[in-house]
Chain A
Amino acid sequence: MAAEARGIQRWSGWLFVSPWLLGLALLFVYPFVASLIWSFSEYDLLTSPRYIGTDHYERIASEIVQGKGFGKALWNTFYYAAVSIPLSTIMAICLAVMLNWQVRGQAIFRTLFYLPSMVPMVATSILWLWLLDPRDGMVNGLLSFFYEAPPLWFQGIQEGVSTSSPFQFGSKDGLTLMSLWGVGNFMLIYLAALGDIDGSLYQAAELDGAGSFQKFRHITLPMLSPIIFFNLILGIIQSVQAFTQVYLVSEGTGQPAESSLLISLQLFLAAFRDLEMGYASAIAWVLFVFLALMTWGLFRSSRNWVHYRGVRI
């Protein structure tokens, strides 16, 4: 009987996963192979692909060197990630710590803090386009008390974190602000992790006379470090994949002057505006390899700063 059951399981297993197997073939294996081949081809959707060698990859390399096209998009994405990931990490941890306070109405505050993250990205973009309007926006209405010339946000090419125009915020800073408003998912992950920390650690520290800050620095932060690491990787992937909000705030162009042209939008425009499928496929592969290397590098470096169960490994 048992043997018979195992025999049935042997083929019914494949049967049960067959929808996914079909998906694997159609949505992953075929596209994977096709895009690799097309990245070495000239392809405009209308005529069949023509092999041209490594031209697209050479073009990408030269664009990185010259800082235009893909190079420009790479810089924009790097700037956006480098500003928004640390800020959202700090903010998410602070909010999670606050929501972990044992006060009346805790559940309601959790709902309120998360609510903006439920707003669809399209609506979020429409809302912030209006709030950050350089002339009529509420944000600049407030900032005009501090600025002689308030920031241009989505109409400006400035970069708020720089030496040339500090605090003159441009399009990418607007995107950062939007990402901070929707930081709820990260916050919830930290909140769950805080709940998992053993309370006796804090009691022991209190007996040793540790203050609130010391407890945070020497217990909370190390215990959160695996989650910080996990969210760091998630944040990088999200920055590279950010598309909807980038498309919406720049009317699908990456304007002004390509200052909000993040990588996903650049790839999309290369493919579906310029019909350069080969070049776009090459970009996708460069991104893929870049992300894989980056994740691998982070995993290697994580041994030095990520604590698993409080033990450095």
Chain B
Amino acid sequence: MNNVAGKWKWMALLCVSGMFLLPLLLMLLASVKPAEQLTGDPYSLLPDRVLFQNYRDALESIPYVKYLANSIVLCVGSVAGTLISCSLVAYGFSRLKWRGRNLMFAIMIGTMLLPWHVTMIPRFVLFSELGLYNHLAAIILPTFLGDAFYIFLLRQFFLSIPEEISEAARLDGLSELGIYWRIILPLSKPALITVAMFQFVASWNDFSGPLLYLSDHEKFPLAYGLEQFVSSYADQTHLLMAASVMFTLPMIILFVVAQKSFTRGITMTGSK
């Protein structure tokens, strides 16, 4: 009886998995189909001929490598900024006692509830005045000023480290910066990895940042560069799909490799 129920459950899970994966599979298949098959026989499932040539054509028809380089600069810069600023601030909010701390922390949580619409336009004006328009720095620099969500996540983690460790280090004459760098950070690797990965994914996917701040093709990251490709190559589905696969694959690989860090972060905080 139990075994029968288990089989049904297993079948149901298999069916739903299929439904979720089918669109991805169709994308993958379309990326190796000949162009004439996609227009002439759009509902056919399997490619008439497997054309890996599509990938090379996609790489040549959009400046993929250039966009990829920009994406990497954006991701690495943003991850560095986030890790440095958020861990410092989280240390201040969790391992140190100072007057005004609770009030400041409450204000920080409050900023999370503010929709980005309210701050978007003045930020744009500010960054333009600072001469950052059309520079990747306009998107990277704010990450060096901390992000409430990541600060909150790291603070929760730092709070779980026993206070006695810090006390002992202080008695040994270690400065606060020393405790932060030599003790707290090494103990917090899992949380830091989670934050780094979230920010990496966010920067890789970011569309509105480049849309607002970048005007020069030379500086586009992949997410925004691909959009340009959509409008000019609307009838070249095979190339679009090949480019999309190349853009998506790093995220899928990252997730499969580091699934634990991801799911821990999502369930800990409620969102990505």
A119 in complex: contacting residue of B85, B98, B99, B251, CB < 8 Å: B251
Q: B24-41: which residues lie under 8 A (CB-CB) from chain A?
A: 24, 26-27, 30, 38-39
Residues of B within 8 A of A61 (CB): none
Contact among A12, A26, A109 for B17, CB-based, below 8 A: A109
Q: Which of A22, A114, A288 contacts B117 (CB 8 A)?
A: A288
Tell me, yes or no, whether B9 is within 8 Å of chain A by CB: yes
Q: List which A207-222 residues lie within 8 A (CB) of chain B.
A: none
Taking CB atoms, residues of chain A closer than 8 Å to B251 are 118-120
CB-CB under 8 A for A234 and B247, given A24-B111, A35-B122 = no
Q: Are A141 and B117 in contact (CB under 8 A)?
A: no
Residue B77 lies at the interface, judged by CB distance under 8 Å to chain A: no
Please tell me if the beta carbons of A287 and B117 are within 8 angstroms of each other in the complex: yes
> Are the C-beta atoms of B115 and A244 separated by less than 8 Å?
no
Whether the Cβ atoms of A122 and B205 lie closer than 8 Å is: yes
| A147 at the B interface (CB under 8 A) | no
Interface membership of B126, Cβ < 8 A: yes
Q: Contact between A31 and B252 (Cβ–Cβ < 8 Å)?
A: no
Of B46-54, B55-63, B86-94, B185-193, the one with at least 4 CB within 8 A of chain A: B86-94
Structural contact, B9 and A103, CB atoms closer than 8 A = yes
Q: Residue of B at shortest CB range from A34?
A: B122
CB 8 Å contact bits of B118-147 with A (1 = contact, 0 = none): 111111011000000000000000101110
What string of 1s and 0s marks CB contacts (under 8 Å) between A258-275 and chain B? 000000100100011000
Task: Known A20-B146, A30-B126, A267-B117; judge A136-B244 contact (CB<8 A).
Answer: no
Is there an interface contact between B20 and A31, defined as CB atoms closer than 8 Å? no
Q: Which residues of A contact B114 (CB under 8 A)?
A: 28, 32, 288
- What residues of chain B lie closer than 8 Å to A241, measured between beta carbons? 115-117
**Which A residues are in CB contact (< 8 Å) with B16?**
95, 98, 113
Instruction: Judge whether B271 and A141 touch: CB under 8 Å.
Output: no
- Which chain B residues numbered 185 to 228 have a C-beta less than 8 Å away from chain A? 201, 204-205, 207-208, 211-212, 223-224, 226-227
Map CB proximity to B onto A125-152 as digits: 1 under 8 Å, 0 otherwise. Answer: 0111111010111100100000000000
Of A2-10, A63-71, A78-86, A299-307, the segment with at least 4 beta carbons within 8 Å of chain B is: A2-10
Q: Which of A111, A133, A189, A287 interacts with B266 by CB under 8 Å? A: A189
Chain A nearest CB from B168 CB (Å) reads 12
Output the residue of B9, B85, B92, B171 with the most chain A CB within 10 A: B92
Whole-angstrom distance between the Cβ of A66 and the nearest chain B Cβ? 22
Please give the number of chain A residues whose Cβ is less than 8 angstroms from any Cβ of chain B in the complex. 94
Q: A12-B176, A181-B20 are in contact. Are A19 and B88 (CB under 8 A)?
A: yes
Question: Contacts A27-B142, A115-B21; is A126 near B259 (CB within 8 Å)?
Answer: no
Main secondary structure on B side of the interface with A? helix
Q: What DSSP secondary structure best describes chain A's contact surface?
A: helix
Per a CB cutoff under 8 Å, which of A101, A105, A123, A192 touches B248? A123
Give how many A-B residue pairs fall within 8 Å (CB-CB).
Answer: 250
Complex contacts, A19 vs chain B, CB 8 Å: 84-85, 88-89, 144-146
Q: A17-B93, A131-B23 are in contact. Are A104 and B146 (CB under 8 A)?
A: no
**B237 within 8 Å of A by Cβ?**
yes
Chain B residues with CB below 8 A from A30, complex form: 122, 126
Residue interface bits B176-188, CB-to-A below 8 A is 1, else 0: 1000100000000
| A284 with B230, Cβ < 8 A, contacts A8-B176, A22-B145, A128-B23 known | no
CB–CB B121/A284 < 8 A: yes
- In the bound assembly, the distance between CA atoms of A188 and B272 in angstroms comes to 11
**B160 at interface (Cβ–Cβ under 8 A)?**
no
Interface: B4 (CB within 8 A): no
Q: Are A189 and B270 in contact (CB under 8 A)?
A: yes
What 7 A-B pairs have minimum CB-CB distances, sorted nearest first?
A16-B92, A23-B145, A13-B98, A31-B122, A31-B119, A192-B267, A20-B146
Please report B residues at the A interface, Cβ cutoff 8 Å.
6, 9-10, 12-13, 16-17, 20-21, 23-24, 26-27, 30, 38-39, 42-43, 84-85, 88-89, 91-93, 96-101, 104, 107-108, 111, 113-123, 125-126, 142, 144-146, 151, 170-171, 176, 180, 201, 204-205, 207-208, 211-212, 223-224, 226-227, 230-231, 237, 240-241, 244, 247-248, 251-252, 254-256, 259, 263, 266-267, 270-272
Between A and B, 20 residue pairs with Cβ closer than 8 Å are A13-B97, A17-B88, A19-B88, A20-B89, A20-B145, A35-B122, A103-B13, A116-B21, A121-B207, A122-B207, A123-B247, A127-B24, A136-B39, A138-B42, A181-B20, A185-B271, A244-B207, A247-B208, A284-B118, A287-B115
**Known contacts A6-B97, A123-B247, A247-B208; can you find 15 more A-B pairs with CB under 8 A?**
A11-B98, A12-B176, A19-B84, A23-B85, A27-B145, A30-B126, A31-B122, A99-B13, A120-B248, A122-B207, A130-B237, A189-B267, A243-B207, A284-B117, A284-B118
